[in-house]
Amino acid sequence: MDRFRELSTFLAVAEEGAFSAAARRLGMSPPAVTRTISALEARLATALFVRTTRRVALTAAGERFRVDAATILRDLNEAEASAAGLHEAPHGRLRVTAPVLFGERFVAPALCDFLDRHPAMTAEAVFLDRIADLIEEGFDVALRIGDLPDSSLVARRVGTLRRIVVAAPAYLDRHGAPQAPKDLARHRIVLATGSGAAGNWDFVRGGVRRVARPAPTLRVNTVSAAIDAAIAGFGIARAFSYQVDAAIARGALVELLAGYESREVPVHLVHQEGSRAAAKIRAFVDFAAPLIRRAAGSLPRPEGA
């Protein structure tokens, strides 16, 4: 007996709740369906269904087997479709999420280029300064900045970023510039509490790690708000270099503590599905990863780094 036919018959009966309905769906005779299920139960030495005169219901063992059987058949169908070339041309709708500023600067252009190359695709980009749940919120791909927790997500590393400390010239004129991380304790600190932010500010100099825990005068939930407050002269903020390079270039912000290096923060593209991910997901990750890697690599690095 073809085991995959057995699984297909079993799933049809489980979903239809009746042998006759499963037979009609599969184009088989009811006796053939009954024989197939009986042979499967005999081989497994367990009852998969409870049969009554009105309906057929799964046993506890049958319910567990249903989950495994559905996974096996789905993987088989995806493998056959991939081998047949059905997944070579990406199509459908892609939902992508990323932190706001990084998404606007790097992910959106990569997504536009991707759509230009694949006219059968549409996409939605949602940029959030928080970590979105791919499954619950229906995203196909997310860009994550920071260390990844252990999870079932598949990750493609696309680069690293570094944080720098900044303040406006007007603030420095009034309060002076910190010369070492410990000096931050006497300054007004603007702390962003959104995605990728941290309350502890790590620095390294001469191989020695220093940790500053500045007490924030102002907490905001987005990095852009913290940067705006710093530009306005309210206090000192910390951000990734790409987030403030334009403000530094025009003189609105000044980099501080440039002699102290900060830990490099990894950047990943993550998605839920594994090696047989949908073609649209594989295609986008393969296309966007080198673009983002080159863009991140071209960002200006702090002096002395």
Same domain for 131 and 270, yes or no, is: yes
Please indicate, yes or no, whether residues 238 and 113 belong to a single structural domain of this protein: no
Beta bridge mates, 156: 269
Instruction: Look at residue 77 and tell me if it is in a domain.
Output: yes
Amino acid at 212: A
Q: Are residues 119 and 189 in the same domain?
A: no
pLDDT at 198: 55
The residue among 126, 92, 130, 135 whose CA lies nearest residue 107 is 126
Domain boundary among 83, 118, 139: 83
Q: What is the pTM of this model?
A: 0.61
User: What's the domain count of the chain?
Assistant: 3
Quick check: is 127 in a domain? yes
Instruction: Tell me how crowded residue 289 is: count the other CB atoms within 10 A of its CB.
Output: 17
Which has the closest alpha carbon to 9: 43, 28, 74? 28
- Determine, yes or no, domain membership for 54: yes
Sign of CA dihedral 51, 56, 60, 64: positive
| In a domain? residue 303 | no
Whole-number pLDDT of residue 223: 87
Q: Are residues 280 and 243 in the same domain?
A: no
Rounded Cα–Cα distance for residues 233 and 15 (Å): 65
Taking the C-alpha atoms of residue 92 and residue 185, their distance in angstroms, rounded to an integer, is 52
- Does residue 71 lie in a domain region? yes
Residue 290: is it exposed, middle or buried by C-beta count within 10 angstroms (0-12/13-18/19+)? Answer: exposed
CATH number at residue 77: 1.10.10.10
In this prediction, residue 101 carries a pLDDT of 87
Amino acid at 42: A
Q: Is residue 304 part of a domain?
A: no
Question: Would 302 be classed as within a structural domain?
Answer: no
Q: Answer yes or no: do 269 and 146 share one domain.
A: yes
Do 72 and 207 belong together in one domain? no
Out of 83, 107, 133, a domain closes at 83
- Whether 170 and 252 map to the same domain: the answer is yes
Same domain, 182 and 221: yes
Please report the DSSP string for 133-195 in residue order. -HHHHT-SEEEEESPPPS-S-EEEEEEEE-EEEEE-HHHHHHH---SSGGGGGGS-BEEE-ST
- Alpha-carbon 139 to chain mean position: 8
Question: By C-alpha distance, which of 182, 171, 277, 175 is closest to 233?
Answer: 171
Residues 20 and 60 in one domain: yes
Does one domain contain both 198 and 249? yes
Q: If DSSP codes are grouped into helix, strand and coil, which group holds residue 46?
A: coil
* Contacts for 287 with CB less than 8 Å, ≥ 6 apart: 110, 113, 114, 117
Q: Are residues 74 and 131 in the same domain?
A: no
Query: Where a domain ends, among 54, 83, 112?
Result: 83
pLDDT at 195: 47
User: Which pLDDT does position 79 carry in this prediction?
Assistant: 66
In a domain, 27, yes or no: yes
CATH number at residue 225: 3.40.190.10
Low-confidence ranges of the chain (pLDDT < 70): 1, 77-88, 150, 194-199, 207-208, 273-277, 296-305
Q: Are residues 60 and 200 in the same domain?
A: no
Domain that holds residue 234: 163-256
Cβ-Cβ contacts under 8 Å for 238 (sequence gap 6 or more): 163, 164, 165, 166, 192, 201, 226
